[in-house]
Amino acid sequence: MNPYRGLPSCPLHHLDATNRSSNKKLRLAFTAVYFTRLLCSLRRKLVISKGEILRSLARSPSYIVLNVGEYYDDHQHQPKDVRDHDTPIFSINPNALTHIVREKDLEGLAQVGGVQGLTPALWTNEEAGVVGNPTLLAQRRDVFGVNKYHRPPKKGFMGFVIEAFKDTTIIILLLCAVLSLGFGIKQHGPKEGWCDGGSIIMAVFLVVVVSSISNFKQCRQFGRLSDQSGDIRVEVIRDGRRQHTSIFDVVVGDVVRLKIGDQIPADGLLVSGHSLKVDESSMTGESDHVEINDNTKPFLLSGTKVMDGYGTMLVTAVGMNTVWGEMMSSVSRDLDEETPLQGRLTKLTSYIGKVGLLVAALVLMVLLIRYFTGHINDESGTMKFIRGKTSSDQVINAVVNIVSAAVTIIVVAIPEGLPLAVTLTLAYSMKRMMADNAMVRKLSACETMGSATTICTDKTGTLTLNQMKVTEFWLGKDTVVGQTLPLDVAANVRELFQEGAGLNTTGSVCRLSPALEPEISGSPTEKAILSWAHLELGMDMDELKRTREILHVEAFNSEKKRSLVLVKRSTTSSRHVHWKGAAEMILAMCSKYHDRAGMLKLMDDEVKSQFMEIIQNMAAKSLRCIAFAHKQLTEETQEDKGNLLDENGLTLLGILGLKDPCRPGVQEAVESCRRAGVNVKMITGDNVYTAKAIAKECGILKAGKDTSDESVVEGIVFRNYSDEERMAKVDNIRVMARSSPFDKLLMVQCLKQKGHVVAVTGDGTNDAPALKEADIGLSMGIQGTEVAKESSDIVILDDNFASVVTVLRWGRCVYSNIQKFIQFQLTVNIAALIINFVAAVSSGDVPLTAVQLLWVNLIMDTLGALALATEEPTRDLMQNPPVGRTKALITKVMWRNLIAQALYQTTVLLTIQFKGRSIFGVDESIKNTIIFNCFVLCQVFNEFNARKLEKKNVFEGVLKNKLFMAIVGITVLLQMIMVEFLKRFANTERLNLAQWGVCIAIAALSWPIGWLVKCIPVERMQQLGVHRT
């Protein structure tokens, strides 16, 4: 049947135009033509004066009639080929339509004919939706807008540069450089005098630009990941079929299907629905859920969440035409959130900075004293300061150089690279985790996951494939197995089963053509039941809907674990209630049952026990047991509203057993967690027998070991424990069956009170409290509702438990990489501070100049962070127990390694400082160049040592990290350029091959020293600061 039959074939659109006068007349003509066609289509008799209509048309100087073809044929709402048709012109003003929904204007909605009046005006259909032709969809976007909101302008590259220049130490250093530049030019002329000050300025600019580029790129990456997290999949009806599309592709006129946990993708009106309740707190601030119906409250607002029930909506406004769009366009997600680890590193940076400031102050004081007392000589041995003879310009220039040297020490001493290292590590980890099917929504979750001690996981879809199939069917006390289809079932039972399976569902069966198999949509459980009913019971969904009227629906949720539908048969006007849900719960509500022959029999306690045994045997085979029950309402109960949905005295129709196989590799993933000291607990809504069977298959329960009463518990039992009992038993629980979302929340709270770091998986709307309460909330990307995703920290895109273990491994990798960089940077800091301080105090000169120290700072902060932050997870990470969140960042192992390297570097370089001229037979400038070259190369070699905190083989897997090798190569190349070609800029002299060989040999000794130091034992548990599970 044509969905547009009886409606005007030419709806016209009130177009906005630049020429107001002529278009106003044109719109009057359009309106007259449209209403003429509308009046002709009404099925009631109206007395209309033909002359008056003609006169109304004659008053307009011109009008246009467009021949618009019908979009659907007469068979099951199937679209015709629309390529040869004109595009529709919509007969509703977008602003007026937006106003009706935004202001919840029932009167305005009534004036346009309600939803039934809007569907033809928007060229859509309540059952078939819009035509999915790309050209027509593009035209809808042109008229009504796209479903995206304008974002606040992002911070540009220059913003990061300006922010970097606001650093106090950079400002002081630039000021000193400018003064040095001025005095140098005044004393020595522009050709020679620019070197000292100009070199510092260029070095500062280089450091600022490189760090700004790094921060800019990471900010852009976080922004892209944020955009991906907002790309929600929405189920729409187009061309008469259900299909999933991006929320950004939703258009006005779309018919969208809603279910529990969905985010409403746009403003719209309810077309049909049952028990639909919406959380509008994000828009109104009211925490109470709003009940939506098609009479008094049909309005649905973008950004709100479906908390109960299901239904379909007609989209009336998208993007910036919605309240949500306007609100979000002025709010940007905080991508600069500080993670707990970044907070701890900020404190560490502050502490080290204070130490550096103290050392710099001492160096400044010592150098000033030595200068003004005549203890500092120039290269020729002449005192730099002679009272009464040294000019004021020379004094000021010397003081500026001393201050700049002291400030440079502060720049090097403050480990500004630590926060950058965290940012780089998180950005790299987030990008790689995305490739490993984990989308991070909250940065802190990356690092917190590395400390997880317990994972509470769902069963369905996470440990199993979520590919349901009906493998057993029990009718009465007999299993029904048929070689021929449909199954040989009594006619009365078949009819009731078809009603219960086909109408008590949120799934759908769409047959595009009698020659094709139907398309079945819905959750995996619903699809399995509908497929079974269609194939084995011969169910005809179209016939069911045509001959039955649904009067009331109570949707399934994780608390009730059952659903019901009240239907009225059009042939007999009798009313029937159908129940579907957890087998033992439905069984408890039954007092009668149908046997194989379709006869109705009473169910006493003995028979119930027999049915329970059947359910337990099915569950022991890892089958999910779902029972169907029925009740026909009598005339008396039909009048009594309170008894309509009475849960007692039902008739059991039958029991289905659905098989959901375990995911490949899940047993290995569980065992990997066990070796890593992480407990895995399965929390499921299935009965205890199914839960035990699946837990054994997955390796969560060990056969013969973990089958005690303390290992497996039902949710209601756990809920009824006293607080003391729960705290005493929660560590031993491996499986919780028949659990509610409250039970999951209760377990998370108990585990956290006992000091565990808890990760929780969840997919349902009611899982939101547990996901928020957990240290790390992991929602499912495929089966997870939008409410669950919004409440989580990380979205597991493939719903696979192995991906949860991957997240755990990456979390540990983040923490490990940060520790590696801390060890590397503190080695440089300690060595640089000691060398310059000792040299300044003893000789009044600093061997490492401001430009050289800035270059070292660049190596450490940016290149070093990038090299060590991109180390990938290794198997060793999953061999160690979890690292406690509150334990020291710098462990005893790290102190051992960095003190040894810093001690070696300071010893060698100070020896060269005081004895280098005689040892190498060189002048002062070459000696200082050797010191600078040795110092930088030591850091390059020490980067390899930092790759492994404990293992002696620091080269393991190094060739796999191409970025690390590239950065090392670039650093060495740039160092060669600094020494050999940038003499005036870097204040260096060219070195011969022998001198280069000596520098490389001194730096290479870092490797054997690192190997020997790791032979010194450190008590393992104290060094790691681990949290015992």
**Beta bridge pairs of residue 630:** 578, 651
Whole-angstrom distance, CA of residue 700 vs CA of residue 733? 11
Determine whether 378 is an active site residue: no
HEC secondary structure over 61-101:
CCCCCCCCCCCECCCCCCECCHHHCCCCCCCCCHHHHHHHH
**Burial classification of residue 790, based on how many CB atoms lie within 10 Å of its CB (0-12 exposed, 13-18 middle, 19 or more buried):** buried
Write the CA distances from 663 to 437, 460, 552, 694, integer angstroms: 15, 10, 38, 11
Closest by CA position to 212, among listed 160, 138, 257: 160
User: Dihedrals φ, ψ of 611, to 5°?
Assistant: -65, -40
Q: Catalytic: which of 196, 308, 458, 799?
A: 458
Q: Kindly report the length of the chain.
A: 1029
Closest by CA position to 143, among listed 325, 320, 237, 15: 15
**CB distance 528 to 536 below 8 Å:** no
| b/e map 447-473, b = 16+ CB within 10 Å | bbbbbbbbbbbbbbbbbbbbebebebb
Closest by CA position to 430, among listed 337, 303, 344, 332: 337
Write the CA distances from 435 to 182, 410, 429, 432, 964, integer angstroms: 54, 40, 10, 5, 20
Whole-angstrom distance, CA of residue 626 vs CA of residue 585? 9
Cα 37 to its chain centre, rounded Å, is 51
Amino acid at 658: L
Closest by CA position to 264, among listed 223, 296, 235: 235
What crossing angle do the helices spanning 491-503 and 524-536 adopt, rounded to 10°?
150
Instruction: Name the DSSP class of 523.
Output: -
Write the CA distances from 239 to 276, 406, 613, integer angstroms: 25, 74, 47
User: What would the two tokens of residue 132 be?
Assistant: 């999915």
Cis peptide before 873 (omega within 30 of 0): no
Write the CA distances from 757 to 610, 679, 714, 770, 883, integer angstroms: 44, 11, 23, 13, 10
**Beta bridge pairs of residue 567:** 550, 576
**CB distance 771 to 754 below 8 Å:** no
User: What would the two tokens of residue 62 be?
Assistant: 């011109």
Interior CA angle at 957 toward 953 and 959, to 5°? 120
Closest by CA position to 902, among listed 824, 982, 811, 1018: 824
Write the CA distances from 328 to 34, 149, 761, integer angstroms: 38, 7, 28
Instruction: Name the DSSP class of 958.
Output: G
Whole-angstrom distance, CA of residue 97 vs CA of residue 94? 5
Closest by CA position to 944, among listed 953, 931, 933: 953
Phi-psi region of 921 (alpha: psi -120 to 50; beta: other; left: phi over 0): left
Closest by CA position to 112, among listed 11, 196, 191: 11
**Three-state SS for 757?**
coil
Closest by CA position to 896, among listed 931, 849, 945: 945
Amino acid at 315: V
Q: How many CB atoms lie within 10 A of CB 590?
A: 22
**Whose structure tokens read 């495929």?**
782
Cis peptide before 881 (omega within 30 of 0): no
Residues annotated catalytic, as ranges: 458
